[in-house]
Each structure stands twice: as C-alpha cells, then as structure tokens.
Homo-oligomer: A and B are copies of this chain.
Amino acid sequence: MAEARWKFWGWGRTDEAATAEETGRAAAFYRGLGAGLEERATVPSVDEIELARPRLVVPASLEGMASSEPYDRLLHTYGKSFPETVRSFRRDFANAPDLVLHPESEAEVAAALDWASDARAAVIPFGGGSSVVGGVEPAIEGDFAGTVSLDLKGLDQVVEVDRTSRAARIQGGIVGPALEAALKPHGLTLRHFPQSFGYSTLGGWIATRSGGHYATLLTHIDDMVESLRAVTPAGVLESRRLPGSGAGPSPDRLLLGSEGALGVITEAWMRLQDRPRHRADAAVAFPELLQAAEAIRAISQAGLHPSNLRVLDPNEARINGAGDGSFALLVLAFESADHPVEAWQARALELVRDHGGRVLPDTSAAQAWRTAFIRMPYLREWLVPRGVLNDTFETAITWDRFEAFHDLVRSRVESAVREATGRDGLVTCRFTHVYPDGPAPYFTIHAVGDWPRLLEQWAEVKHAASDAVIEGGGTITHHHAVGRDHMPWYIRQRPELFGSALRAAKHALDPAGILNPGVLVPEAELPA
C-alpha cells in the first residue's frame, strides 16, 4: 500500500495527527490561559481552493519533471511556520508557485535553472518544506514571469560510503530517515536529528545551517560538511574533499546558510559517526533556570562535550509533562561508540551537584520531554484553528549577557502578547545547544489569540520578539534560518559591508537573480 501523502496544511502525512491525549493536555493548558478553543476553521481540502492559472509553461525538454497539479502547488506554497498554518486554514494560497519541478538528477537541476534564468522565473529550492521562517513561500516581488518551486527530493541517494574516513557522498534531496537507513548497514550514522528530521533534507539542513542532535561540539550541520557540490545559474561549484584546509576563505562556508539564494546543493560529502554503544543519561532538577544555566556553563567550559546538555525552565517542563512547574529540568547525556563514558558523566554530575542540582532517580522526565519534542509539530494544526497563538523563536547569546537578555526578551514578549491579545500569555525558555561562551536559548510563546485577528496578533508579537533579540545582542536565528520572516532583523544584525560582499557574490553566481528572491539578498540590493 502506498504511503499517505504529505499534508499541505500541516506537519507530516495525512494519516498522522496528534493523539487525543496530546490534544487533551494542550487543551487543559490553554484553557488555563483563558482559551475557549472553539474550532473556527476545518482542515482545508484541495478541491475547495481556487488557484490562479499558472503563468509559466516549460519547454518540452522539462515537461517530464514539471507539475502544475493543484495538490503539488499547494504543498509547495508554504513551509510549516505559524502564520503559514493560519493562512492554510484560511484557504489563502495566493502565492502558490506556478509550477513545481521535480528533477531527479543534477543535469535536470541545471536544465531547470538554465530555463528559469532565460524565462525570468523565480526559483525556490525546496527540500522537505519544513521551514518555520517563510523560507520557501513564493512571495516574490519584482518583475518575474512567474514562480517555480524546485523540489529536490528526487535526488535521494547515498552515492558512496568511505568507511575508513567515516564519510559519505550523499545527494541533497534525501530525507532524514532514508539517509540514516542507507548508512545503517555500514554501521555509520550522520546523527543529525533536527526536530524536522522526518520531513527535511540534507540539502535543506546545509542551506539553513540546521541544528541537530548534539548539544555541544557538532551543533550545526556546518562542521559535518566535508565538501559540497551545488548547481548555480552560472554553473557547478564543487569543493574539494578535505578533512581540513587553510587555503583562503572556505568555499563551503559561503554555501552553508545560503538558503537557496546562491545555488542548489545537489550533493555533499558528509562526516559521519560510528553508532554509539555506550551511554550515560541523567535528569537533574534545579530550582530555576538561571541556576541550571550556571551548571551548564560549568559543564560546557569543562571540556566534557556531552551529547546532550539541555535545560527546560519550570513552566516549559510542566507544559511538556516533564515536571510539575516547581523545578527546571536539566537533561544530560554522554554517548560513545568507543568507550564507556562513566568518567565523563561522573565529573559532569559533580559539577551539577556543586551548582545545587538534584539528580532525579530516573530519566522519565527527560523521556517525557523528548517524546513531547518530537510530537510537538503535530499539535499546531489542532491549536491554530482554535485561535491559539503558539510559536517559538531561538537565538544565541554570550554567558555574560544571558540573564539580562532572558529578562528583556521574556518581558518584552509577554508585554507584546498582552498588547496584541488583551490577555496574559506565557513565555518559556529552554536551551537547545550550548557553547563554552554562551547558550542557544529557545523561547516558546503560549498565548490565546482571536481567530479573525490571529495573523496580525502573531505579527505584533513576532516583531516585538525579534526587536528584543536584536537589541539584547542575540542572533536573529541560531538554527531556524532567516527566510522571509527574519529579513528586517537579519539586515540589522549582519555587518552592512558583509551584505555588500554577499550581494556581489550572489550576482556572480546568479546573475539574473532568480534564486529565492527576497531571501538573504533582497532584490532591491542587487546591482541594476
């Protein structure tokens, strides 16, 4: 039997959904914030959405990979952000791409870009479409003839495995589970598990500097890239496979985080891991987040390199069934394919206790959190049509500024929620990744909005959150990427002259400016 198809309005496949228990827990929590939870909109169906006539026609040579099927165009209209979900439930697909192209080889990608450059069609590279920052929506300004979503999931092979160097050559369109399944017979793993793992691709991870499994050291996909290959409108760019180099600025680092605006990542040699055989886990309670943060700073600066070193503030723990709201939960784990990790864990637990942590008798709280984390994306399509404003944003900040930053961000966002909705909401915080010089805090907004005004309410709150992050000294994104949603703050954050350099580089690789216009390098910035 064929698998159910992917939802165009929400997370995952059409036969997947939040369970009654999951929606029940969410309902109880949001009722506590004053939500009525009446269902104001139903799941959209393909038939009820009227799409504009496609403005583009491909030449015969591309017909085999082109689709203007309504479902295909709907699926490629949006990523999985909060406002995109709202608009899906409102049946607003005004920005649907004119066409979806499904190349199955690098030559087909190149042919698509050649045609698009000539036809002045804007091209949006599309992996799993899991963007939560408006990275894949064809919301294109400028004088383009139309928009194309370039779905890369046809490039889905692990092409070559080098067991000796622990690396593999992998096509950019492969999704997480297929990638891991292909590596497993070799005893290897990429061990990159973003929350989107099941519905995102290697090329997407690279293009967005995705953050994954490891809380320390190999936090971003960046350091796992040994070399890469990309098709640009100006030709193919392939870097040399090297374990390290000092020959000029790194070519790979220009494409890491390029968000489809510089080229299409068709292939990469990725550094792999042996599958872990040794493990040590602990869950630790702290009276509050800041005290746990001090323990985390100590462990991070001790050079122990745990695979997991994450913390949830008391409310975040409670909401996810990982606590009663009276303690912050620190999750600590070491893993190794090579050696028992007790010595590492013992020292980390000493540091935890020195900082006032109470090691819990088991790790059930940590497991509850992990399950909630993986299942979280499925809740959105239940919450949104019920008027709940539930979104997340993430950043990074040095330790010296963390406390003031956390206070600033929370208070500004809670004020914005009151201002926008007329009700009190809640802002919770956890750490997703940790560096010796600072954490990557991840904030969740829990608020009750009003269905008719939900988009505007979200925009107000998002604006306040982004302002606070930038004014407080953080980054507009640690691992969600810039997309269209973060552009105004990205422009404020990045050095202006780096913007000039990037614009010039884009013009060299994409002279017609067709690649993901509006992202990273706004059209207005391109040379005339």
Given A302-B338, A508-B504, A509-B497, also A473-B247 (CB < 8 A): no
CB distance from A112 to the nearest CB of B (A): 18
* One of B243, B246, B253, B301 near A481 (C-beta < 8 A): B246
CB distance from A254 to the nearest CB of B (A): 5
CB distance from A436 to the nearest CB of B (A): 6
Across-interface contacts of A234 in B (CB, < 8 A): 497, 500
- Protomer copies: 2
Given A162-B398, A494-B251, A508-B503, also A438-B257 (CB < 8 A): no
A167 to B481 Cα, complex, angstroms: 26
Answer whether residue A226 sits at the interface, using C-beta atoms and an 8 A cutoff: yes
Across-interface contacts of A220 in B (CB, < 8 A): 244, 246
CB distance from A274 to the nearest CB of B (A): 7
Given A241-B398, A396-B245, also A303-B338 (CB < 8 A): yes
A274 to B302 Cα, complex, angstroms: 9
- Are the CB atoms of A398 and B242 closer together than 8 Å? yes
A254 to B251 Cα, complex, angstroms: 9
- Are the CB atoms of A239 and B436 closer together than 8 Å? no
A210-263 at interface with B (beta carbon < 8 Å): 210-211, 217, 219-220, 226, 232, 234-251, 253-259, 262
- Are the CB atoms of A246 and B211 closer together than 8 Å? yes
A209 to B248 Cα, complex, angstroms: 8
A274 to B480 Cα, complex, angstroms: 32
Answer whether residue A368 sits at the interface, using C-beta atoms and an 8 A cutoff: no
- Are the CB atoms of B305 and A244 closer together than 8 Å? no
A504 to B506 Cα, complex, angstroms: 9
* One of B237, B242, B256, B439 near A474 (C-beta < 8 A): B242
A164 to B436 Cα, complex, angstroms: 10
A219 to B246 Cα, complex, angstroms: 11
A500 to B249 Cα, complex, angstroms: 13
* One of B248, B262, B400 near A494 (C-beta < 8 A): B248
- Are the CB atoms of A433 and B493 closer together than 8 Å? no
CB distance from A245 to the nearest CB of B (A): 4
- Are the CB atoms of A247 and B399 closer together than 8 Å? no
- Are the CB atoms of B244 and A219 closer together than 8 Å? yes
- Are the CB atoms of B398 and A497 closer together than 8 Å? no
Across-interface contacts of A246 in B (CB, < 8 A): 208-211, 220, 257, 475, 477-481
Answer whether residue A520 sits at the interface, using C-beta atoms and an 8 A cutoff: yes
* One of B211, B243, B257, B343 near A248 (C-beta < 8 A): B257
- Are the CB atoms of B235 and A271 closer together than 8 Å? no
Given A254-B498, A507-B504, also A240-B473 (CB < 8 A): yes
Answer whether residue A53 sits at the interface, using C-beta atoms and an 8 A cutoff: no
A235 to B482 Cα, complex, angstroms: 25
| Listed A/B pairs (12) with beta-carbon separation below 8 Å | A162-B400, A220-B246, A240-B475, A244-B440, A245-B475, A246-B257, A247-B257, A247-B476, A248-B520, A249-B254, A249-B255, A338-B347
For the complex with contacts A249-B258, A500-B509, 11 further pairs of A-B residues with Cβ separation under 8 Å are A162-B398, A165-B438, A167-B437, A239-B498, A241-B473, A242-B397, A243-B438, A247-B257, A247-B481, A497-B509, A501-B505
Which 9 pairs across A and B sit closest by C-beta, in order of nearness? Answer: A243-B438, A343-B343, A504-B504, A209-B246, A243-B435, A302-B338, A253-B253, A501-B505, A251-B498
